[in-house]
Amino acid sequence: MAVIHELSAVLADQIAAGEVIERPASVVKELVENAIDADSHEIDILVEEAGLKSIEIIDDGSGIEADQLALAFRRHATSKIDDRKDLFRVHSLGFRGEALPSIASIADVEMTTSTGGEGAVIHLAGGKVISQKPAEARRGTDIKVRDLFYNVPARLKYMKSLNTELSKIVDIVNRLAFGHPDIQISLTHNNRELMRTAGRGDLQQVVGSIYGMNKAAKMLPISGSDADFKVSGYVSLPELTRASRSYMTILINGRYIRNFQLSKAIIAGYGSKLMVGRYPVAVVNLEMDPLLVDVNVHPTKQEVRISKEDQLSKLLTVTIRSKLSEQNLIPDGLTNL
């Protein structure tokens, strides 16, 4: 007879890691989100060999107290929510307490951190703490993740080319930057700086530093609201389109999400101004009471459930359509769709 037994913590972390950490870009996402949650003003992301060799994230955020450092790497350990009530009002990007233990179970991890005074450095490999020592450090956190998937050869084999993995990293960093124009974010690959935002709180500047100033100049600010939702951001003039939907970024309360209906609502705002197979460039912020959005649908938190999604979609479409019609670009007969 098979004997029922609990899995070891390390094995359980590796299983969870399979859901949260699909590829190097997932590590970047989780660690940058942690830096954002720690109220950082500046976040530097340094990547080698598309993240498979190393990923380092340096922030100037709150840091972690030395006596809590090992705990931060334990499963379901989080400082961000306390009870059931908080789960329905998530204000932070993280809350599941899964990223650090997941990453540590499939890579070699070193984190140096300080809350202002004396700092500490912890080293983990294969999910186990190897050492923790006091360390000289300025306020903030510096985490290095090396040899990702070294103990999960099946996952390593599944990786696409370095170029593809790097492009996924660039994509997620761009979207995190769109959600946080007030944070200076830089991305460096193999010692070459690929992007840097100014951190001045100016979304159009961020769009410019990512898509180029000439494109940013062809984007219009939008704003609209109703009793439940607030819409803001930038959308391209109908003359600036792309062959892919991936130049549309939707953020809910600063979190990048994917949502087919909301993407369709953006496109609908253009009416018949878009040619078939062409999509606008857009960065759209949607603000709402956290009670209206359930982010606990999927481990990566990019899929969400929104209450009153139809109402929100309509607001989004109308906001974009009225902005574009101000530009006199939509002939009269088409505006009352």
Side chain identity, residue 146: R
Cβ proximity to Mg ion: between 99 and 166 the closer is 99
In this chain, which of 16, 99, 169, 257 binds Mg ion, going by CB under 5 A? 99
| Per-residue binder mask for ligand ADP (CB under 6 A), 19-48, x = binder | -----------x---xx--x----------
Scan residues 87-116 and list those touching ligand ADP (CB under 6 A): 94-100
Cβ proximity to ligand ADP: between 294 and 309 the closer is 294
Per CB under 6 A, does 230 bind ligand ADP? no
Integer CA distances (angstroms), 26 to 29, 39, 107, 253, 278, in order? 5, 20, 13, 20, 28
Per CB under 5 A, does 166 bind Mg ion? no
Scan residues 13-42 and list those touching Mg ion (CB under 5 A): 34
Stretch that binds ligand ADP, among 20-28, 73-81, 173-181, 299-307 (CB under 6 A): 73-81
Min separation Cβ 310 and ligand ADP, Å: 31
In this chain, which of 27, 52, 72, 107 binds ligand ADP, going by CB under 6 A? 72
Residue least distant from Mg ion (Cβ): 94
Stretch that binds ligand ADP, among 58-66, 175-183, 240-248, 325-333 (CB under 6 A): 58-66
Min separation Cβ 330 and Mg ion, Å: 43
Cβ proximity to Mg ion: between 78 and 115 the closer is 78
Min separation Cβ 248 and ligand ADP, Å: 26
Cβ proximity to ligand ADP: between 27 and 206 the closer is 27
Min separation Cβ 323 and ligand ADP, Å: 36
Per CB under 5 A, does 102 bind Mg ion? no
Where does this chain bind ligand ADP (CB under 6 A)?
30, 34-35, 38, 59, 61-64, 72, 77-80, 94-100, 141
